[in-house]
Structure 1
């Protein structure tokens, strides 16, 4: 066995030297072009992504991002088949991942679809569709309050109503509590799939350079590991109020993503706000409140704890509606949904572990299976009502 050597003040050079040599070789490769004798040249690639669409009385404004390997110059723009004048801020070619606002003084028609085609200097074309033209929301106190109320309706209110089941849950016996905990796992399993699906869908609309699809999976993995390590930092699994707090946090991140989708949809005119839609979301989130209350039935809880749990689970929906309506970006939304998915997975693991502890390992029973299946069925049914609305 070789004796350990004490580090010297020059030892760190051996950690830096390999990276320095690698950077030097990469720089040499890029400057000397050693592949030139092979006759291999990479064609310049252009790509353009539209991240935001704003419609007002002045016309159409579009936030675009260049996503190719070469600078991109927008030469012409067609709107509904006709070439139209435009201004670009900032002007000039767009380098990789640079953004610009395109302003089109086009008389758009409310309720109709409009098709926009970007033509670059090299002749490449990129298309963007406005499915339903409606005036984009402005940052006014009345509009901000309206979106906040929408977030409260679909977030805080139903979760708070679900927490009102707490006195009834305290009367349940062991089999009943086992059923409710399994029901909670079913609710969370549906939320996990739904959150990942929404995140991956948003990732498709982000610039390719952001690699938003793997970003969703990596964010979910990292958030799961971070929250799991934080929850077990004392060597014990969370119970009671601690477990309920994790439940509220995970559900809150899901509601943040739900708020993002709602705000972006209403801002783009792709959804109509009606009583049936509000009822559908309320039913969908009501069951989440029941799940948060389930771990509290055998522990003393004060009113302030319920207020905090309702705020933690529901208020992110308000933040989501604001962000979706006024500052939506597909890559950031996909990242947040990935983080939310990881948080939900961590809560599923903790609830499952709690269920196993409270049943002495006999958690796989008819009552547990029935509760899990009912949780999935309830969430699927309420989500179906939301989509129909």
Structure 2
């Protein structure tokens, strides 16, 4: 066989592979064109109006009335014909005007003189007669966005996220020098608090996904985002073997930070709705709830002596996203994006649970037996119980 024949063989295989890739794509294109041109489904039409769905994503109350952001999810573009507020028809303006195509959004402005502290019901009627209701439980003015309000939100985010994590990490010197049982207890404590955050984040993600437009396929989105986050972080974390020390602490801080991002989105949304009821007691509850997170981040570092800037960076990674979440939630909140953030956080937390459990078994030296040791069980129970107890202070 000549050199030319040896070169021609792989070239022919490559062209054949490309051909078999193009043929099914071309067949799919032809099928789509035929379906659109001939419209074989029209013979099944019975005169019924198209399926229409409308999701309310945001409500703004100001001196000039009410504005609501709606997202269409019907089979065809839908046209808003009339709007009722408290059973009375009101003039409205729509931006952008005209029919709303599937998946698109539009702002509806109503010059309605809403009453502070009272409930109002909005009912949107389409040109097909379909109706979609939205309730404003308590009418309060939506806070205006300016430098002062953003600074106040940032300060709250610091107290909710960064400060408690930093306080928890300040226990580091006192925890150094603990024996094997003490180390097992602290690592299991970390697993316990992360397990609670995993359950909490997943439940909140599904709750928010249920409020999102059907087009986003909320439950599937949560499962897929969590799985993708978990697998991606596992692949990154295991590139150079199982993480430990600063690397493991970084993954813990990242998982906690993504969860705090989701919490910040929820708090920011409460600001945007003018229903933030965040008194001093509630802020203190958030701080108590998050202090253990700092201890969990410090646990893999007890056998090391990292520089002070590493602790500062870890605290910023874990607590800083709360500030970002507050800003995003107050400026551009939508339930599907909050659900997505929480799902990604849940996947990251699950990855950290796996890695911390593996690190516990390696550092203990007894393998899987260490998972059933009294110190491990005690730490796991303490972590879950503390997070559950302090969560009662922040659930309103």
Give the TM-score, by structure 2 length: 0.94
Distance in 1 (alpha carbons) for counterparts of 2:45 and 2:305: 76
Where 1:216 maps in the other structure, the secondary structure is: helix
- 1:17, distance to aligned residue in structure 2 (A): 1.3
Deviation at 1:37, TM superposition (A): 5.3
Give yes or no for contact 1:137–1:325 (8 Å, CA) kept in 2.
no
Deviation of 1:35 after TM superposition, in Å, equals 4.5
- What SS does the aligned partner of 2:100 have? coil
1:96, 1:265 → 2: CA distance?
28
**Separation of aligned partners in 2, 1:367 and 1:283:** 23
How far the C-alpha of 1:56 sits from its partner, in A, is 1.1
Alpha-carbon offset, residue 139 of structure 1 = 2.1
* Structure 2 counterpart of 1:33: 39
Report what 2:391 is aligned to: 383
SS of residue matched to 1:68: coil
Contact 1:284 1:382 in 2 (8 A): yes
Segments of 5+ residues of structure 2 without an aligned counterpart are 1-5
Superposed CA deviations along residues 290-341 of structure 1, whole A, max 9, x for unmatched, are: 1000000001211100100010000100000111111101211111111111
Distance 1:325 1:39, change over 3 A: closer
Which residue number in structure 2 is paired with residue 257 of structure 1? 262
Alignment of 1:1-389 (within 5 A): 6-8=10-12, 10-11=15-16, 12-36=18-42, 44-234=50-240, 236-360=241-365, 361=367, 362-363=369-370, 364-388=372-396
What is the CA RMSD across the aligned residues, in angstroms?
1.7
Q: Which has the higher helix share?
A: 2
**Is the partner of 1:119 in helix, strand or coil?**
strand
Out of 205-214 and 215-224, give the one that drifted further.
205-214
Secondary structure of 1:386's aligned partner: coil
In the aligned structure 1, how far is the partner of 2:128 from the partner of 2:41?
A: 25
Partner of 1:126, secondary structure, is strand
What 5-or-longer segments of structure 1 have no aligned partner? none
Q: TM-score, normalised by structure 1?
A: 0.95
- d(CA) in 2 for partners of 1:380, 1:150: 22
Shift of the 263–39 alpha-carbon distance from structure 1 to 2, 3 Å rule, reads closer
**8 A contact 1:131–1:270 mirrored in 2:** no
CA 5–382 in structure 1, closer or farther in 2 if over 3 Å, else same:
farther
In the TM superposition, what is the alpha-carbon distance from 1:96 to its structure 2 partner?
0.8
